[in-house]
A and B are shown apart, each in its own frame.
Chain A
Amino acid sequence: MTVLSYLIPISLVLGAAGLIGFIYTVRTNQYEDPEGDARRILSDEWDDHPKP
């Protein structure tokens, strides 16, 4: 059962990483325009150089 002492912290850390990632996306307004963002990826306008 010693394996538990590795697995439980690992599972918690992975879960927490997901949670922190989600909080980051909420805080940086990434859900403001879900429809537009889904379509912007189809544009090749800034493919060769980033938007200034």
Chain B
Amino acid sequence: MTVALHHQTAVCPGCVAAPSEAVEVAPTQARLAISLPTIHCQACISAVERGLNAVPGVRDARVNLTLKRALIEADPEMRAVDLIPVCEGLGYEAHELDLAALSATETDRAGRDLLLRLAVAGFASMNVMLLSVSVWSGASDATRDLFHWISAAITFPAVIYAGQPFYRNAWAALRARRLNMDVPIVLALVLALVTSLWETSLSGEHAYFDAALTLTFFLLAGRYLDHRTRAAARSAAEELAALEVPRAWRLDGQGQEVEVSVAALAVGDLIRVRPGGRMPVDGEIVAGRSELDRSLLTGETLPVLAEPGTRVSAGEVNLTGPLTLRATAVGQETSLHRMADLVAIAESGRSRYTSLADSAAKLYAPGVHILSALAFLGWYLYTFDLRTALNIAAAVLIITCPCALGLAVPAVTTAASGRLFRAGLLVKHATALERLAEVDTVVFDKTGTLTEGTPAVVNLSELSADQQALALALAEGSAHPLAKALTRAARAAGVTPAEVSDLREVPGYGTEAVLQGRRVRLGRGAWVGVATSVTQTATWLDPGDGAPVAVRFTDALRPGAQAVVDALRAAGKEVILISGDATAAVEDLATRLGIRNWVAEALPDHKAARVAALTQKGHKVLMVGDGLNDTAALAGAHVSISPASALDAARVASDIVLLGRDLSPIAEACHVAERATKRIRENFQIATLYNLIAVPLAIVGLCSPLIAALAMSTSSITVSLNALRLR
């Protein structure tokens, strides 16, 4: 919270006229955030806070265990990168968070506002309920009037304050000449308050003050639950985005690297991309030699050679050597952003889904108004007594009030989202669960979704012991993913590296060394001296005798990939594999997983078109994908899931984010979604049942405020308990 301090420096009255505007000053402190996913107890809090506070330059560090984050106030020149080794030194995994991307989570004004209104409605309804109980249990005459007047004095300000979200929504709907759930709510509140006040002023017996307040309280509870579920999903999604700090290294006139934010880059800038880094912009390589991983953009698993003159697009990953590129397109102009247009087209094609709550409201809102108007008219024509007729119309509106309906959906989605979050799935969209329940076809992407996107060695045992030792020695000299995978596999097989000298890496090609006077190499086929015609990912080992051998790799399956495909097929859903990768690789994976329908070498718009074609045929498609080439298909599918390792654009386009590496929660999610939808329908039936019993009573004029209060509370509580069975 920031408070503007206005210093009145002048002491004599004559100087007060001097301007005392706030002067723009340089920031005197920096606010930093670090994500600490592994902290879990009081000892962790103390250790991290003590460690961070001991760093010179840190003014205050506070850990938030619920969000698993540390917020630090420090000197302006301090950067979060400097503090990460401190946390890692203490034994905690730490990641830098971009505070700008977290802004919305920090001040959850809407949530706080709803909570305050809920508290006021709760307080007022308790007090009024106590007074009403005394009236129902027999208070009469002057005492009853006194209690009614006190109730009125509490109810009016409370309802006017607490009910504001409903008034606003109802007004917005009426202005657009529509009816929504809030219109009958507001009408019920207003009518109940007016008739009750009128009755009270005439010393009448029935007043609905407690009903009006309980109504507000239960409805606000539903809204608050709804808001909390969405806010939790939003904050987790923001945290994912904040983990990717957009930063680049620009070369200045003297060839010095200067760290800048990606937003500050311009066309023509020279940018240095280190091995392991992602291209921040589209550009052309001017210096350096390396290999590029394009899998997130195209689905190809084979690394591509990069040398001066090669064009690169934002989002590709540099693998081996440092590269310098000249930017040809930045920001919105990059190919990464142009993909957004494709997404927008796909989204407009997505059939407008009406949620269960909306379709219920469409039936319900006009019905209630007609019913209550008919009750009013009937009684007025029967008795010609405005007071009785108005009383009965108010009773009908209160009885039919959508209390239980307002709780029916949020209570279930809160319970189901909570359960899925514990299973490792983040539900981002409000109606995602309902849509997931309807799915009958599941489309998977290959690279990065069903597979890890990291290679694993296939044929290590085909190499002789000497070759294995040599391969390990050469592979250890490189940080290339294939070399790393080879190192891992050889180490696991118990191989000891051969003694080599002059080991060096040739970026873009491989590693070479000298073994017993002979030159040995591990790397690209062309470099080693063989014509590569293999479609499978492979690296070649030249042991110096002129007969190079291939070390073949396959993309490792994600854990749970087999389980999720089996479970989905067992549940009677059709599973399809669509990938941008080469035919051989896709076919191999499809046979391994037992998927009969597969498509290879699919371009981004082909993926989207295929999803659209399936939708046209009446299928409800669940798309699971991670790459940029999947975003249009993700946005176009009935419902979509992407893993947390996906590009930001893909995560934004999908409804559900898979937080862990394991894929198996997807099958569970489909099951939970089906059960959640069933519970929502059950809840609607329960609410209708209560109405069927109480509405006839209200229409014939037998409904006392006591019956109204009982019907309303029991139906709301039954609905909430039914939802809790999902947890």
Footprint of B on A, CB under 8 Å? 1, 4, 8, 11-12, 15-16, 18-19, 22-23, 26, 32-36, 39-40, 42-43, 45
Contacts and interface: CB of A to CB of B under 8 A. Distances in A.
Given A11-B127, A19-B120, A42-B42, A26 B115 contact: yes
Interface string B7-36: 000000000000000000000000000000
Interface in B120-179: 120, 123, 126-127, 130, 143, 146, 150, 154
A16 B123 contact: yes
Contact of A22 (B42, B43, B119, B154): B119
Contacts of A33: 64-67
B45 A19 contact: no
Nearest to A29: B1
Across the A-B interface, the 8 shortest Cβ-Cβ residue pairs: A36-B65, A39-B42, A19-B123, A35-B66, A33-B64, A42-B42, A35-B65, A33-B66
B126 A45 contact: no
A16 B63 CA distance: 33
Dominant SS among interface residues on chain B:
helix
Contact of A4 (B43, B119, B130, B143): B143
Nearest to B143: A1
B55 to A, nearest CB: 16
Contacts, number: 50
Interface string B39-53: 001110110001000
Contacts of B116: 23, 26
B112 interface: yes
Contact of B123 (A18, A36, A45): A18
Nearest to A19: B123
Contacts of B154: 12
A1 to B, nearest CB: 6
A49 to B, nearest CB: 15
Interface of B: 41-43, 45-46, 50, 63-67, 112, 115-116, 119-120, 123, 126-127, 130, 143, 146, 150, 154
A40 B45 CA distance: 8
B150 A8 contact: yes
A22 B215 CA distance: 21
Contact of A34 (B46, B66, B119): B66
B3 to A, nearest CB: 14
A32 B112 CA distance: 11
Nearest to A5: B146
Nearest to B1: A29
A17 to B, nearest CB: 10
Q: Which of A12, A34, A35, A45 has the most CB of B within 10 A?
A: A35
Contacts of A23: 116, 119
Contacts of B65: 33, 35-36, 39
A36 B63 CA distance: 8
Nearest to B153: A12
Nearest to A44: B46
Contacts of B42: 39-40, 42-43
Given A23-B119, A33-B66, A34-B66, 20 more contacts: A1-B143, A4-B143, A4-B146, A8-B150, A12-B127, A15-B123, A18-B123, A26-B115, A32-B66, A33-B64, A33-B65, A35-B66, A36-B45, A39-B45, A39-B65, A40-B42, A40-B45, A43-B42, A43-B45, A45-B50
15 contacts: A1-B143, A8-B150, A11-B127, A11-B130, A12-B127, A22-B119, A26-B112, A26-B115, A26-B116, A26-B119, A32-B64, A33-B66, A36-B63, A36-B66, A39-B65
A39 B119 CA distance: 26
Nearest to A28: B1
B414 to A, nearest CB: 17
Contacts of B119: 19, 22-23, 26
Contacts of B112: 26
Contacts of B64: 32-33, 36
Contacts of B126: 15
A43 B154 CA distance: 44
Nearest to A14: B127
A39 B146 CA distance: 48
A40 to B, nearest CB: 6
B677 to A, nearest CB: 31
